[in-house]
Amino acid sequence: MSYTKQVLSGSIYYFTGSVLAAIIAYLTKLVLVRNLSVEDYGLFFAVLTFVLIFSVFRTLGMSQGLARFIADYNSKKKNGEIKSIITGAFATQLLVAGIMVIILWFSADYLALNYFKDARAVTLLRILSFYLPLSIIHVNFTSIFQGLKKSKLFALGQPVINAFVLIGSIIGLWLGLELFAPVIGYLGTYVFFLIVFIFPLLKCFNYFNFKHKNFFEENKKLIIFSLPLMITTFGYLLITYFDTLMLTYFDILSNVGVYNIIYPTALLITFIGSSLGLILLPVITELWEKNKKKQIVTALKIINKYLLIFCLPVIIVLMTFSEDLIRIFFGREYLAGVVAFNILLVGALFNVFMGLYNQLQIALKQQKKVMNIYLVGSIINVILNILLIPKYSLNGAAIASAISFLIMLKLSLVYIEQKIKIEPPWKSWLITSFTSLLIPVVPIILNKYINLNVYVTTISGLILGGLIYLFILYKIKIININEIKKVITR
């Protein structure tokens, strides 16, 4: 299979899996939003977010390192080295995760009183601390599938996890556990994940058929490579979760609950960039090792153009109907987050491209540059959150995130230019931006002049607006069918 086809097929699998995972995750959130009070929803995710911050020390950045080393060693048939780094990664991470559980267990009383300001946080924090060792199963399995280029299995991981979280949460609610209902889903899912994926993993790489080779040398290389990625991950987690931590401390739990539904909603679209990036990682790694820079540049030019063609209309439509969407899906008590939601949607567009470029940088051995980007982004995010949240609450948190994403995207482009020449399709981006504004105009006009059910008219208008958008881009040759065929058949 050619490199282009490999990226295309892998991206389709992961994109499909990501869409399915996102749908299931949203069903879970909807179930919880509709069955928990805003305060309980806020408390659960405040505690979960606090635990997730510790996950950076649990993985030590090894998940991305595993994917890259396995991709390299698999192409060279170094099975003994692959076994060594898999063993080392699991052993090291489990040891660190165990220490984290002990720390969280004994500090739970103090944190519940002085930080969460809710006595129920003691039990919740202690139970959720076991997320740290259990989630290692999912993190490392998917890294192994990614490195071996098993796109189907890699793509299945997150949908399966999310499905078990949904089922467990529903069972917990049915049992009347209320605040503690999601715990069954969030912890039990990893046991089921192990049962489902252990045999496919052994089929792809029969761990027990090989002997460890150069164990300490290989794991030393893995740790050295991964430590910058750990700092990168810590920066990512700070940017993703620090706003929730600050809202928990400075604001009320109901606002924490609102933010923890609008933030993931706004950033849903970012999985597109990350899905492409994750599939590109092992492929670009091989291309870079073989000094095939021209193929990398060609692929990126096409991806950049069509990524905006797809993502920008979605963001514009969500911004246009944001108030209606929040009211319908989450309820009127969540309307306090409308402005913050729109701000986050702008940041999401920056994050789409950043997700793609970060994986590209790892493939180009720029993991230290990625670390620098996330360090700068996290510092800016922390400062802005501290300054803005006490005064502007949800909106301040959203502004901090959007600005951080923009600065990080700019830094990514600067660093990548040091390795390869990226040619952003500025002309097509500009035309795409103006043309996409037509899409929400169509349903607005239809609702004004046609007296039908508003939902039918809106959906019909969006479909019609989307078709007009694609037709215009096709007629002015922004969308090039021959270009697409060339990519598919290459």
CA quadruple 135, 138, 139, 144: dihedral positive or negative?
Answer: positive
Q: What is the pLDDT of residue 138?
A: 85
Nearest-angstrom CA–CA distance, 222 and 70: 10
Contacts of residue 481, defined as CB under 8 A and 6 or more positions apart, other chains included, come to: 474
At residue 343, the pLDDT reads: 94
Total H helices, total E strands in the chain: 20, 0
Dihedral, CA of residue 477, residue 478, residue 481 and residue 485, to nearest 10: 140
Cα angle, residue 297 at apex, residues 294 and 299 outer, rounded to 5°: 110
Question: What's 116's DSSP letter?
Answer: I
The tokens describing 402, both together, are 């959007």
Other CB atoms closer than 10 Å to residue 320's CB: what's the count? 18
CB 40 within 8 A of CB 222: no
Give the Cα separation of 420 and 416 in Å (integer): 6
DSSP letter assigned to residue 420: S
Domain boundaries, the chain: 3-424, 425-490
Query: Would you state the pLDDT for residue 355?
Result: 76
Q: How much is the pTM?
A: 0.72
Size (the chain), residues: 490
Q: What is the pLDDT along the chain (490 residues), one digit of tens a residue?
A: 444 455 555 556 666 777 788 788 878 888 998 898 888 988 998 999 899 888 777 777 777 778 778 877 877 778 888 888 888 888 888 998 999 999 999 999 999 988 898 899 999 999 999 999 998 888 888 888 878 777 777 778 788 888 999 999 999 999 988 889 898 888 888 888 888 888 888 888 877 887 888 888 878 888 887 777 777 777 777 777 788 888 888 888 888 888 888 888 888 777 666 666 666 666 666 666 677 777 777 777 777 787 788 888 889 988 988 898 888 888 888 888 899 999 999 998 888 888 777 777 777 777 677 778 888 888 898 899 999 999 898 999 999 999 999 998 888 888 877 777 777 777 777 888 888 888 888 888 887 777 777 778 888 888 888 888 888 888 887 777 776 655 544 4
Among residues 79, 84, 197, 182, the alpha carbon closest in space to that of 138 is found at 197
pLDDT score, position 11: 58
Nearest to 168 by CA among 109, 127, 120: 127
The set of residues, in sequence order, having a beta carbon less than 8 Å from that of 460 and lying 6+ positions away, is 443, 446
- The CA-to-CA distance between both ends of the chain, in Å, stands at 10
SS3 422: coil
Question: How many angstroms separate the CA atoms of 253 and 40, rounded?
Answer: 8
Provide the pLDDT for residue 334.
87
Nearest-angstrom CA–CA distance, 351 and 408: 9
Tell me which residue of 296, 322, 326, 324 sits closest to 421, measured CA to CA: 296
Which are the contacts of 479, defined by CB distance < 8 A and separation ≥ 6?
Answer: 309, 470, 473
Q: In angstroms, rounded to a whole number, what is the distance separating the alpha carbons of residues 278 and 11?
A: 8
458 and 447 in contact (C-beta within 8 Å)?
A: yes
CB 128 within 8 A of CB 189: no
Looking at 334-425, list the stretches that DSSP marks H as alpha helix, in order from N- to C-terminal side.
338-363, 367-416
For residues 446 and 282, the answer to whether their CB atoms sit within 8 Å is no
Q: Helices 136-147 & 181-204, crossing angle to 10 degrees? A: 30
Q: Which is nearest to 207 in space by CA: 60, 70, 14?
A: 70
